[in-house]
Structure 1
Amino acid sequence: MSTATSRSAYARTVRKESGGPGLLLAHGGGGSVESNFGPVLEELAAAHSVVGVDYPGTGGTPKAEEPLELDELADQLVAAADAEGLERFAVLGYSLGGNVALRLAARYPERVTALVLTATFARAGNRLRLVADLWSGLAARGENELLARLLVPLALSPAALEGLTPDQTEELVRQTAATIPPGSGDHVDLIRGVDLRAEAAGIRVPALVIGTTEDRLVPLALQRELADTLPGARFAELPTGHLPFTERPAEWAALITGFLAR
């Protein structure tokens, strides 16, 4: 990794309102801790000491000069936990963050108490890999409006998308294009060729996989496959597209906190 993304350079989000057990947040590709978890952060912090980091090129973390690695992102989360004095912790991974969470659990099995994985996968599959190729190429060329036109119909559930007026749809595309972070392409490059099934099969902690049933970005079949691969994992369905924090934040938070409370 470049010096621009050294351990001290990663932006960290901390919420320790409750002083409860540790909970690490691993956000999705093209997102950030605030954009992916902001709507549920208060609920999560009510019972947990919450810590997250922004990947290079998003939030407050500078863009990387070299390709990203899952190991580095996992290690950064653990370093943030260390900085807050958290010896053990659960990990909440959303989308690409689920890959980060799986790698973290495989690298630090003695420190992870539970996993909650939402809208994620152990392997990309052909459909998601092809989307990632297009996403990465558009991001590299700075075609943010075209990228937004690709992502909006994939990220929203069909019902949410069709519930918008044409003017609202165009405004959403503009807002999405304006907020695509510079590291978006670097994040999505991690998706291509990923296969964490062997690592997932060796993880021995309580796990909940939350399947986003109306997801057009990460097929539900891949989410179910992940749940089947994780030994003893529970599977819950949430009727939303790829953005549970936008479409159903209250239900998403309830599933997360309910599982962790048990």
Structure 2
Amino acid sequence: MTDQHTRTAAPLVRGQGPGLLLAHGAGSDIQDSFGPVLDALAKSRTLVGPDYPGSGTTPSAAGPLTLDGLADHIVESSVRAGVHSFAISGFSMGTTVAVRAAIRHPERVTALVLSAGFARPSPRLRLAIDTWRALVESGGDNRTLAAYLSLVVGSVDWLEDRSQDELEEQVRLFSQGLPPGTAQQLKLLNTIDVRADLPRIRVPVLVVSPHGDLLTTPVHSRELAAGIPGARLVSVDSGHAIAAERPGPWAALITEFLDAVGH
């Protein structure tokens, strides 16, 4: 593994049963991407949740991030935690990390769940990423950035159902929880293209498409599912932030799929 990933914080480890490795989104961490579903998943699985460099308590990388580096990082974190074989649940950018991990470590990866993901950023997604990154790198008002993120990760219906106080609280929490490695992660995000990896996947795959996702819109999930032999595509009534909007249904989809395929 390269030097940029050697200083690694211990991952979250929780539960008992077959291994389930978690891969979080860009500008996020394990708690932010998966927090509300961790307890439900840990009832039947041993969860391993490493944070990327610059997220959680993992130090930022000294150089540019690479998709291969992140894939190796999460796999090696699980092995160091004593979980040597596992399914991977990837969220948002974590779906591409999961795909690359399955290609680079086929002897360890038993199944994939790819939620709110993509194979490559569409022009519209690149525009959203560029705006996000510009707000991060400007060093300006964190509230403006947090408000922008609230608008793109929440579904229209979910946001419309929030009170003014609830929205203000979400913006406040977003503004306080921006990982220091966000700019590095977003720079990588704009370069990702795993389309060539998809036909090479040989494990069971579930693609979870939030039909109200304004960031990685459902067209991205359809491209993922179409490119992977035998992949199953399901929809969930949610925006991009599935853990916040629909934690129960999301945890059930993941658990039921892994139970059905024997992982």
Q: Scaled by the length of structure 1, what TM-score is found?
A: 0.94
Say if 1:2 and 1:200 are closer, same or farther in 2 by CA, change over 3 A. Answer: closer
The question of whether the paired residues in 2 share the 8 Å contact of 1:136 and 1:186 is answered with no
The question of whether the paired residues in 2 share the 8 Å contact of 1:140 and 1:185 is answered with yes
Tell me how far 1:37 sits from its aligned partner: 1.4
Matched, 1:75 2:72: yes
Deviations along 1:6-54, whole A, 9 cap, x unmatched? 4342341111x32x11110000111111121121111211111111211
Tell me how far 1:132 sits from its aligned partner: 0.9
SS of the counterpart of 1:9? coil
SS of the counterpart of 2:215? coil
What are the within-5 Å matches in structure 2 for residues 1-12 of structure 1? 3=3, 5-12=4-11
- Determine which of 207, 211, 216 is the counterpart of 1:209: 207
SS of the counterpart of 1:24? strand
- Determine which of 43, 48, 52 is the counterpart of 2:45: 48
The question of whether the paired residues in 2 share the 8 Å contact of 1:2 and 1:64 is answered with no
Q: Which sections of structure 1, spanning at least 5 residues, go unmatched?
A: none
Partner of 2:110: 113
The question of whether the paired residues in 2 share the 8 Å contact of 1:74 and 1:103 is answered with yes
Tell me how far 1:135 sits from its aligned partner: 1.1
Partner of 1:149: 147
Q: Which sections of structure 2, spanning at least 5 residues, go unmatched?
A: none
Partner of 2:132: 135
Most deviating of 32-41 and 244-253:
32-41
Q: Scaled by the length of structure 2, what TM-score is found?
A: 0.93
Separation in 2 of the partners of 1:26 and 1:155? 18
Tell me how far 1:166 sits from its aligned partner: 3.2
Separation in 2 of the partners of 1:142 and 1:183? 13
The question of whether the paired residues in 2 share the 8 Å contact of 1:54 and 1:61 is answered with yes
Partner of 2:173: 175
What are the within-5 Å matches in structure 2 for residues 23-42 of structure 1? 23-42=20-39
The one-letter code sitting in structure 2 at the alignment partner of 1:122 is A
RMSD (CA atoms): 1.6
Structure 1 vs Structure 2: percent identity of aligned residues? 46
- Determine which of 73, 98, 123 is the counterpart of 2:95: 98
The question of whether the paired residues in 2 share the 8 Å contact of 1:2 and 1:66 is answered with no
Most deviating of 78-87 and 92-101:
78-87
The question of whether the paired residues in 2 share the 8 Å contact of 1:23 and 1:92 is answered with yes
Partner of 1:122: 119
Separation in 2 of the partners of 1:142 and 1:200? 37
Tell me how far 1:220 sits from its aligned partner: 0.6
Say if 1:115 and 1:2 are closer, same or farther in 2 by CA, change over 3 A. Answer: closer
Most deviating of 245-254 and 133-142:
133-142
The question of whether the paired residues in 1 share the 8 Å contact of 2:7 and 2:59 is answered with no
Aligned length: 259
Tell me how far 1:85 sits from its aligned partner: 2.6
Partner of 1:13: 12
Partner of 1:241: 239
The question of whether the paired residues in 1 share the 8 Å contact of 2:20 and 2:87 is answered with yes
